[in-house]
Amino acid sequence: MAVKTALIKHPNSVLHEISAYHPERPERIIAVEDALAASGLNEFLLSRQSKQAARSELLTVHEQHYVDWIFDNAPTGDGGHVQIDGDTAMNQYSLIAALTACGAAIDAVDGVVNKEFDNAFCLVRPPGHHAERGIAMGFCFFDNVAVGAQHAMDVHGFERVAIVDFDVHHGNGTEDIFIDENRVLFCSTFQEYIFPGRYAPSVPGHIVNVPLPGGTDGEHYRRVFSEKVLPELDAFKPEFIFFSAGFDAHRNDPLAGLNLEAEDFGWITRQVMQIADTYSDGRIVSTLEGGYDLDGLAQSALAHLSALVRVDA
């Protein structure tokens, strides 16, 4: 059968390291790759190596002074680490990894628009959805999904772009970047009262924030997602849909307290794909965000990708 889903990645993703024993670690990528190989799903995937995003592409969503600071302070050679905040740091490979993570989102958009594949999953690090216009935080330097969404609007002319963020932490960076951009519908489900601890009020047709109590299981999540997110997506009629695909709402994740199972992420994906099939000609780009229990991450990402390629996990 024809390959319809691209897996976009880069070797740089496993070279970036914040510190020894940090939960956002290179093994996250390896765990997903191993699960894909063991499942046989790779035969349904078109593997692509991402480009590096240009500085000008970062500047479509980030402030000049901030981008310059990251470039100017990134360590080189054996320069050790540069600490950005209490839990975010750069080693000598971090800048290039961040550029290829953003580049993956851009490549994915171009490939979907040019009908090289139907949809794409960007298996990249560092994650991005906590990076605001001028602030790095929460393991994130540049907002990968925001760069991709802005590219879809600026270069390809889309007027209604939806971003569905199911990471267990609120996508504050993406919200900050698009808070005044009415062409974007941003939907974020997240555990309440944990990092980053702030979010804007919901605005119908633009911002949909859905805080969830600790202990939320798949049944409750599916009901709330069906009541609060899917109707907004349906009313918005998106021309392009993005996932901020964090898998740290899995019940075994060490950094949060929701109780989703791997199959719940497949369910989320399939529901949104129905919206994409109706309004977006199936156009979906997904980028990896969180997920810190390696087995939970691997199995959840496998369920997500199985849905994207339209086969059973």
pLDDT band at 1 (very low <50, low <70, confident <90, very high): very low
Is the model's pLDDT at 194 over the cut of 50? yes
Q: Which residues are catalytic?
A: 130
Residue among 74, 98, 90, 123 nearest 288 (CA): 123
Show the tokens assigned to 22. Answer: 């940090």
pLDDT band at 2 (very low <50, low <70, confident <90, very high): low
Q: How far is CA 48 from CA 10, 45, 63, 71, in A?
A: 8, 9, 29, 26
At 78 the pLDDT is 77
Is the model's pLDDT at 24 over the cut of 60? yes
At 26 the pLDDT is 98
Taking the C-alpha atoms of residue 131 and residue 297, their distance in angstroms, rounded to an integer, is: 21
Give per-residue pLDDT as tens, 213-249: 999 999 999 999 999 999 999 999 999 999 999 999 9
At what angle are helices 94-113 and 144-154 packed, to 10 degrees?
A: 40
* Average pLDDT rounded to a whole number, residues 164-182: 98
Poorest-confidence range of 74-78, 131-135, 279-283?
Answer: 74-78
> Parallel, antiparallel, or unpaired: how do β-strands 5-9 and 161-165 relate?
unpaired
Taking the C-alpha atoms of residue 167 and residue 300, their distance in angstroms, rounded to an integer, is: 12
Show the tokens assigned to 249. Answer: 């709402």
0.85 cut: is pTM over it? yes
Give per-residue pLDDT as tens, 239-295: 999 999 999 999 999 999 999 999 999 999 999 999 999 999 999 999 999 999 999
At 79 the pLDDT is 73
Is the model's pLDDT at 312 over the cut of 80? no
224-228 contact pairs (CB < 8 A, 24+): 224/189, 225/189, 225/268, 225/271, 226/271
Give per-residue pLDDT as tens, 93-120: 999 999 999 999 999 999 999 999 999 9
At 311 the pLDDT is 84
Q: What is the average pLDDT value for the chain, to the nearest integer?
A: 96
Is the model's pLDDT at 3 over the cut of 80? no
CATH number at residue 179: 3.40.800.20
Is the model's pLDDT at 57 over the cut of 70? yes
pLDDT band at 76 (very low <50, low <70, confident <90, very high): confident
Q: Which residues of 169-202 are buried (b: 16+ CB within 10 A; e: fewer)?
A: bbbbbbbbbbeebebbbbbbbbbeebbbeebeeb
Which comes out higher in pLDDT, residue 233 or 76? 233
Taking the C-alpha atoms of residue 297 and residue 299, their distance in angstroms, rounded to an integer, is: 6
* Average pLDDT rounded to a whole number, residues 5-18: 97
Q: For residue 211, is the peptide bond before it cis, meaning its omega torsion is within 30 degrees of 0?
A: no
At 83 the pLDDT is 93
Sheet of 284-288, strands arranged across: 45-49, 5-9, 119-122, 284-288, 240-245, 161-165, 184-191, 207-212
Total count of domains within the chain: 1
At 80 the pLDDT is 85
Residue among 154, 168, 121, 153 nearest 239 (CA): 153
Residue 183 is part of which domain span?
5-309
165: helix, strand or coil: strand
At 5 the pLDDT is 98
Is residue 200 within 8 Å of residue 180, measured between CB atoms? no
